[in-house]
Amino acid sequence: MNAEEFFIFFEVEAERLGLSPRQCQLLAARAALRVFPVFPGFADRRISTISPLPILRALMIAILPKVEKDGELRNVARFSALEARLFGDKVYVSVRDTLTQRDRERLDDVVRAAAGAARVFFEEDTFVFAARSVTDAYEAGLAHPMIVAAVQRDFATLEAGGSLFAERLFLGDPPEWFVQLEKQMRSNGSEIPDRWDFWLRWWEGIKSGNPIDPALQLAIVQGLDDETWQDPDATARRIAEIEAQYFDGLGASSTGEGASKVAVPYAAVAEAMTRNRRELPAATGAVLGFIELEVERLQAKNYQSEEEAQESRHQIRVLQTIHEAVAKLEVLIPDGVQMNEADAVEAEKLMQLVVRRFKEWPRNKPGHCEDNAADLADTVIRCALVGAATQMLILIGAHASVAVGVSGALFGGKKIIEAIKAGPAQVG
């Protein structure tokens, strides 16, 4: 299918389904995201003075739910689209002498696709404009059949009344060019981790269908002014502040009266467990294994006082309860593309039990969370267990930021949130 045929296919299908401007915008944004690694993969490694923030900002706004209903955010979205397009012109001039003509065209296609996605909602003929934006992405993706298949899947999801916000970008393995350029993108980002840590996490959530909580993304969009967005390091610092405030808020609300549940209905749990059924056995197995190691460590420890020994016995009982709940969850992982309602209801209850019991381990006395943090952060098994449990909660249906926020609330502030991030690396 050439670019013209793809344009016609998209326009006809969008009109047939009678898609809203917002739905057209989501389709265009997801198409742009599927080729986003082309930009940092080609440009950022050669032009260190150019960052992809204008593109990232435009795409983040484009996929956020209900942006179109907020007048102020609509103005921000319109401005971000214009800024992304102007940014594209700057990039094109900068790479003129460093890339081949074809690669320059691909870069330009990516920028036009992203800027176009941010503008779709504001255009009079949304079907035509969205088709143009998605076709730009199609050409940037070298007209790969996986791009067509992904767009067709998005159409089918919308036709069935589903949501695209938590859908994976690709049906199966992405094209080889995507894999190679994403690897380059990650390498670029890891060279300046303080600057790109959030965006690499944001990208992974978008790609895998486990996006960062939209409430946190909205707080970032609203909390950064235009001047801050011009400086990648200032942007990173401000995002870190917003994340810390957000996690602190989650911690406060999760320890308040009546706040023992993570708000994930059983239908969402069923959908998430079905979608992630191949990854869940490894995730639950990791949690079970780390619990067993921690229980063994506690049982073998030499205690200095009876009070200390009693506290450890309490922790062992809590861990054994979590172990039993996770083992039952493991049995409920669906074999196929559907999960029956009874299993979904049971899985949701078990997930809530796991969350409640994790709040009891380790027990933080009032005012002693931060005092405990250093000891906890030094315990590799505990850090690894927190990381594994967080990943498992995400796969069961909790948003990534909610799962990490709950873990941060349980284990005591920023030091432990940092330990959670470091945990998987410590255990290889």
3-state secondary structure string across the chain: CCHHHHHHHHHHHHHHHCCCHHHHHHHHHHHHHHCCCHHHHHHHCCCCCCCCHHHHHHHHHHHCCCHHHCHHHHHHHHHHHHHHHHHHHHHHHHCCCCCCHHHHHHHHHHHHHHHHHHHHHHCCCHHHHHHHHHHHHHHHCCCCHHHHHHHHHHHHHHHCCCCCCCCCCCCCCCCHHHHHHHHHHHHHHHHCHHHHHHHHHHHHHHHHCCCCCHHHHHHHHHHCCHHHHCCHHHHHHHHHHHHHHHHHHHHHHHCCCCCCCCCCCHHHHHHHHHHCCCCHHHHHHHHHHHHHHHHHHHHHCCCCCHHHHHHHHHHHHHHHHHHHHHHHHHHHCCCCCCCCHHHHHHHHHHHHHHHHHHCCCCCCCCCCHHHHHHHHHCCHHHHHHHHHHHHHHHHHCCCHHHHHHHHHHHHCHHHHHHHHHHHHHHCC
Residue-wise pLDDT tens digits, 290-305: 899 888 888 888 878 8
Residue-wise pLDDT tens digits, 4-38: 999 999 999 999 999 998 899 999 999 999 998 88
Q: Do 107 and 140 belong together in one domain? A: yes
With respect to residue 106, please indicate whether it lies within any of the assigned structural domains.
Answer: yes
Highest mean pLDDT among 97-101, 245-249, 310-314: 310-314
Q: Do 230 and 290 belong together in one domain? A: no
| Count of domains for the chain | 2
Amino acid at 224: L
**Domain endpoint, select from 182, 217, 247:** 247
With respect to residue 184, please indicate whether it lies within any of the assigned structural domains.
Answer: yes
| CB contact at 8 A, 402 and 213 | yes
Q: Do 339 and 232 belong together in one domain? A: no
With respect to residue 255, please indicate whether it lies within any of the assigned structural domains.
Answer: no
* pLDDT of 260 above 80: no
**Domain endpoint, select from 193, 213, 247:** 247
**Model pLDDT, residue 157:** 92
What's the average model confidence in pLDDT over 74-88? 77
**Model pLDDT, residue 250:** 52
* pLDDT of 51 above 70: yes
* pLDDT of 147 above 60: yes
Q: Do 392 and 291 belong together in one domain? A: yes
Q: Do 210 and 272 belong together in one domain? A: no
What's the average model confidence in pLDDT over 131-145? 89
With respect to residue 258, please indicate whether it lies within any of the assigned structural domains.
Answer: no
**Model pLDDT, residue 27:** 94
Q: Do 212 and 307 belong together in one domain? A: no
Percentage above 70 pLDDT, the chain: 77
With respect to residue 260, please indicate whether it lies within any of the assigned structural domains.
Answer: no
Q: Do 243 and 274 belong together in one domain? A: no
Confidence of residue 409 (pLDDT cuts 50, 70, 90): very low
**Model pLDDT, residue 19:** 93
Angle in degrees, 0-180, between the axes of helices 400-411 and 413-426, rounded to the nearest 10: 110
Confidence of residue 413 (pLDDT cuts 50, 70, 90): very low
With respect to residue 352, please indicate whether it lies within any of the assigned structural domains.
Answer: yes
Tokens of 214: 């939209």
Using only C-alpha atoms, the chain has a radius of gyration, in whole angstroms, of 23
Q: Do 198 and 296 belong together in one domain? A: no
Q: Do 300 and 393 belong together in one domain? A: yes
Tokens of 349: 């209850």
With respect to residue 43, please indicate whether it lies within any of the assigned structural domains.
Answer: yes
Q: Do 330 and 243 belong together in one domain? A: no
Omega of the bond prior to 362 within 30 degrees of 0, cis?
A: yes
Q: Do 48 and 127 belong together in one domain? A: yes
Q: Do 202 and 321 belong together in one domain? A: no
What's the average model confidence in pLDDT over 229-239? 91
Q: Which domain holds residue 377?
A: 266-426
With respect to residue 252, please indicate whether it lies within any of the assigned structural domains.
Answer: no
**Model pLDDT, residue 49:** 54
**Domain endpoint, select from 247, 277, 304:** 247
